Chains A and B, each alone.
With several copies, the nearest count.
Chain A
Amino acid sequence: MSRFQLEIRVVPRAGLLDPPGKAIHHALHSLGYRGVEEVRVGKAIFVQLEAESEQAARDRAHEMCRKLLANPVTEDFEVTLLGGADAAAGRSA
C-alpha cells in the first residue's frame, strides 16, 4: 500500500453553456484583458488516497468520477497523477 496524490478536473461538457465562464470572461474584458478569448470553469479536486499501485489509484479515481464527482450528463473529467514526472508538469507555475 502506498499513498498517491491525484488531481481530478471536472469540466462542463463542450458546447454546454457555462455561465460562470461567461461571467468571468466578461469581467476580465471590462478589467482590460482584451486578449482573453475563452474561459471555462470547472472543479479541481485534489484527492489523496492509499492504493496498491499507480494504476489502481487511477482506476479508483475514474470510478469515483463516474459514481460521484462528475455529472455524466453535463460534465467530463480528467485524472492526473501528481507525483514523479506528471507532478512536475502538472504543478509547474
Chain B
Amino acid sequence: MKVVVVTFPGSNCDQDCHRAVELAGGEASYLWHREHGLAGADAVILPGGFSYGDYLRAGAIARFSPAMEDVLAFARRGGPVLAVCNGFQIACEAGLLPGALIRNRTLKFHSFDQHLRVENADTLWTSAYQRGDVLRMPVAHAEGNYEADTATLDRLEGEGQVLLRYVDARGEPTDEGNPNGSARAIAGIRNAEGNVMGLMPHPDRAMEAVVGSVDGRGIFEGMARYLSGAGAR
C-alpha cells in the first residue's frame, strides 16, 4: 500500500506515522501542506502534532491548507483517510468527520497509556480486532474532549460509527476511564461512508513491544488488508 502522510506546519507525529506504515508493510511518503498531489496514493494519514500551534482552535487553521483540498476530494472518492490526534481535530474542523474536540475537562495536557475498547470490529479500520477487545495505547493531548449534539451522537452509536471507546483497566466505560470528558467516552469514530477514521489515541506510538505496546498495529494492518482487497468493508 502507498500511504501519503500530510505534514502541516507544527505536525510532529508525521515521522511516527511514516514509520508505522512501514512497520505494517506499506510504503509511506510525505506531502507538505502547501503542495498538491495525491496521485497514486492508496490512503492518506493526517498525523498528530500542533498544527499552527493549536492557536485559535486545534485544527482550525490547518484545514485551509492547499493539501486539504486534495484530501477532501480523495475522501469523497472513497479513499481511506486516517486522522490521528491533531489530525482528528483537523478532520472535524474540515467537516470530514462530525463533531468537535474541545479542551480536556481537567484543562490539562494528558500523557499516559489509555485503555480503549473496540466497539465495532466490522470496519476497514478495525478488522484486525475483535469487538470488545481492550487495547492499550498512549494518549497525548489537551483538546481531546469529543462533543457533538445528541442527534449526532445517537446517529454515531446507531450506525456503528463509534469504533473506539475510552475504558478503565477492567474494560468498563467508567468515568475514571474517560481521560478527557468526551461525550459517551468516544475515543474514535468513522464517517458514515466508513472510509474516514478519526481517533485521539496514538496507534502510531503502539507499534512495537519495546516502546510499550503493539496494540496500534491492528489499525495499520487493517488498512493494509483492506487495500489488498482482503479486508472487511
Roughly how many angstroms separate A74 CA and B148 CA in the complex, as a whole number?
A: 8
CA–CA, A71 to B181, complex, Å? 19
Please judge, given known A-B contacts A16-B147, A20-B56, A23-B55, whether A30 and B64 are in contact too, CB under 8 Å.
yes
Residues of chain B at interface, number, CB under 8 A: 23
A26-45 interface (Cβ within 8 A of B):
27, 30-31, 41, 43
Residue A69 at the B interface, CB < 8 A?
Answer: yes
Sort chain A's interface into a size bin: 10 to 19
Q: Is the CB of B107 within 8 A of A20?
A: yes
A18 to chain B, nearest CB (A): 9
A17-B145, A24-B56, A73-B148 as given contacts; A68 in contact with B103, CB under 8 Å:
no
Q: A19 interface residue, CB < 8 Å from B?
A: yes
Decide if the interface of chain B is mainly helix, strand, loop or mixed: loop
Q: Judge whether A19 and B61 touch: CB under 8 Å.
A: no
Given A30-B64, A31-B64, A68-B61, are A19 and B56 also a contact pair (CB < 8 Å)? Answer: no
A27:B105 contact, CB within 8 angstroms: no
Which positions 6-31 of chain B face chain A at CB distance < 8 Å? none
B residues in contact with A17, CB < 8 Å: 102, 105, 145, 147, 181
